[in-house]
A and B are shown apart, each in its own frame.
With several copies, the nearest count.
Chain A
């Protein structure tokens, strides 16, 4: 049966393999090639590097840039304060050191920066500058192309190739051709971004993908890491974005960009009632207004001059055209009415939040030969575009050194066979057993319903507690089994199938993390109503996890918070290797 779908096996050897050609991945590849043009650097990208990932639509600011007066340390201080005191100072600091250089590189490649009379960048807050960033991804892709790295578009990574606790390459399949890739590498940099679609999104049906974070960033990097035994951190710190209602366009553009106040239905600037106005408290306060009868809430841009109509439309066309269409559909100019705001579905994302791979300051994960950078890397929130680039650079620089002493490992052919089987079986099922199965979409609905209802989705105001989380845990385990009855109709569908598989595993980790942290550190993001207060004495520490694929169990471990000191990242897991015998 397999034969009908038996793919051609393509074997590639890469000095450095980069998985995900987004912000971090592009910059990693460019950096590696700059450091050593002789190296074979391969980038695999599930979409097309020209318009993939977070930047597909564009951005309108560089949100992590040190304007005059700011330093790497002041950046660390800010991020730490905004994250209830728990970040990896070392990671954030090493990002801070590179932010401005990454910014300059973007400018060199042709990204249009707005400038003031003196030729300086136009600040949008203390750590942000304005850009016309519609073309940012094609610009990065052009730099990538020029770097000489080999780019494989429409090639979806499915798993690392692991030997013991060492990552020696990755498996991938093409969604365009019937090809399965076996890529050996001396070092692998994971840059697959974060995860959307774990939870029921704000909209459903015909608008189900109208979300802030790209629905195509599905957490595969996390899932691959988990399956290989890599350690993850802070999945309980879900990032929930305060966004423009319905279209889910970002709000920083107006909140920070034009200093629009957050007002409630009575016109009160309700944040005044809060001492702590960190990112999650701005969200929490908004929900509170709604729950207590003072909603909905808005960003009030009605005070602005008419010039801002054009300015705001441009800013959003550069990043998130949805709100521009919304204004058009309402027949209004932007400044004619306040824009309503809401909380998004919870995302797992290390670029805005804290969740991701547990890494050291060189961006090494707990698996040998594996690096992580960008939204997939944990411990350092608020890195955004330039922080992701910085991490790509750091990882690539270290990898270039690291591989000097590394030779390619041989790959057990049975591993390849097994992975082909795992990857393509849903297509086979579609030939023969379709009658009994469900489509990837249907399992996705199931996953999102479980997470929404039992693990603190939008419909429960993001609140979680033990009993419900335990149910989520059980249901997700069952779902993971049920997905084996699923089928895929074609290669596109097969990609969706694996996206669900991966999301389920990530969701399981999220639930374990939420269960473990018995305090409420970040309102909304991690709100345990059975432990409603922040408890620094017991909980100013990281909650980390390692998946034991033999036992199919997610193990939680604690890592201390050590103020600013560099971390030694040691491997504590057993990983895939243990269960072979």
Chain B
């Protein structure tokens, strides 16, 4: 269990045939639910690779650690631009941190 989809924020990627998160997940874990929103088949199968959270244009997916390995509710979201990735880390105690990293040197 490691990603959580905010059903308020997710719009099912509108008119796209295949939502972006569904398209990207290397484990084929995400699917479009009957309610038109993204859902995860089995949270136990998630690798925590963060591909989906980077891909979601609505920042509707957040990653967190399972309690088993010490997870306490800190979350990670991401927004990607053409050349950067902007990480949004939110600690369980509310402290937020933005980390921007170069990701693609456009040549």
Contacts and interface: CB of A to CB of B under 8 A. Distances in A.
A134 B24 contact: no
A406 interface: no
A205 B26 CA distance: 20
B47 A175 contact: no
Contact of A132 (B26, B66, B103): B103
A326 B25 contact: no
Nearest to A330: B70
Contact of B69 (A50, A215, A449): A449
B76 A324 contact: yes
B89 interface: yes
A110 interface: yes
B28 A328 contact: no
A247 B26 contact: no
B27 interface: yes
Interface in B78-95: 85, 87, 89-93
Nearest to A320: B48
B52 to A, nearest CB: 9
A436 B47 contact: no
Interface stretch (A79-87, A278-286, A310-318, A570-578): A310-318
A325 B68 contact: no
A139 B104 contact: yes
A111 B105 contact: yes
B64 A325 contact: yes
B58 interface: no
A109 B104 CA distance: 9
Contact of A57 (B18, B31, B49, B99): B49
Contact of A207 (B26, B66, B75, B102): B66
Nearest to A495: B28
A204 B91 CA distance: 24
B46 interface: yes
Contacts of B66: 203, 206-207, 210, 438, 442, 445
Contacts of B101: 132, 134, 314, 317-318
Contact of A51 (B26, B102, B106): B26
Nearest to A208: B44
B104 A110 contact: yes
Nearest to A133: B103
A56 interface: yes
A252 interface: no
A317 B73 contact: no
A328 B91 contact: yes
Contact of A210 (B2, B18, B31, B104): B2
**Which of B24, B67, B73 has the most chain A CB within a 10 Å cutoff?**
B67
Given A322-B48, A324-B76, A446 B68 contact: yes
B103 A134 contact: yes
B24 A48 contact: yes
A215 B89 contact: no
Interface in A463-497: 475, 482, 485, 492, 495
Given A112-B103, A207-B1, A329-B73, A48 B23 contact: yes
A314 B48 contact: no
A137 B57 CA distance: 19
Contacts of A246: 69-70
Given A435-B4, A442-B1, A482-B72, A329 B106 contact: no
A317 B99 contact: yes
Contacts of B72: 329, 482, 485
A199 to B, nearest CB: 14
B67 A326 contact: no
Given A215-B27, A329-B73, A449 B44 contact: no
Given A51-B26, A132-B103, A328 B89 contact: yes
B67 A442 contact: yes
B71 A438 contact: yes
**Which of A46, A53, A215 has the most chain B CB within a 10 Å cutoff?**
A215
B65 A329 contact: yes
A110 B44 CA distance: 34
A57 B50 contact: yes
B80 to A, nearest CB: 8
Interface string B1-36: 110100000000000001000011111100100000
Interface string A432-465: 0001111000110110010000000000000000
A265 interface: no
Contacts of A203: 66, 68-69
Contact of B24 (A50, A111, A112, A139): A50
A534 interface: no
Interface string A244-268: 0011000000000000000000000
Nearest to A113: B105
A154 B30 CA distance: 13
Interface in A294-326: 310, 313-314, 317-318, 321-322, 324-326
A152 interface: no
12 contacts: A52-B26, A107-B105, A112-B103, A132-B101, A204-B68, A207-B44, A216-B47, A313-B99, A318-B101, A325-B63, A438-B66, A446-B70
Interface of B: 1-2, 4, 18, 23-28, 31, 41, 43-51, 55, 63-76, 85, 87, 89-93, 99, 101-107
Given A209-B44, A209-B48, A442-B68, 11 more contacts: A48-B26, A51-B25, A110-B106, A132-B101, A246-B69, A321-B48, A328-B74, A329-B73, A446-B69, A475-B70, A485-B73
Interface of A: 46-48, 50-53, 56-57, 107-112, 132, 134-135, 138-139, 154, 175-176, 203-211, 214-216, 246-247, 310, 313-314, 317-318, 321-322, 324-326, 328-331, 435-438, 442-443, 445-446, 449, 475, 482, 485, 492, 495
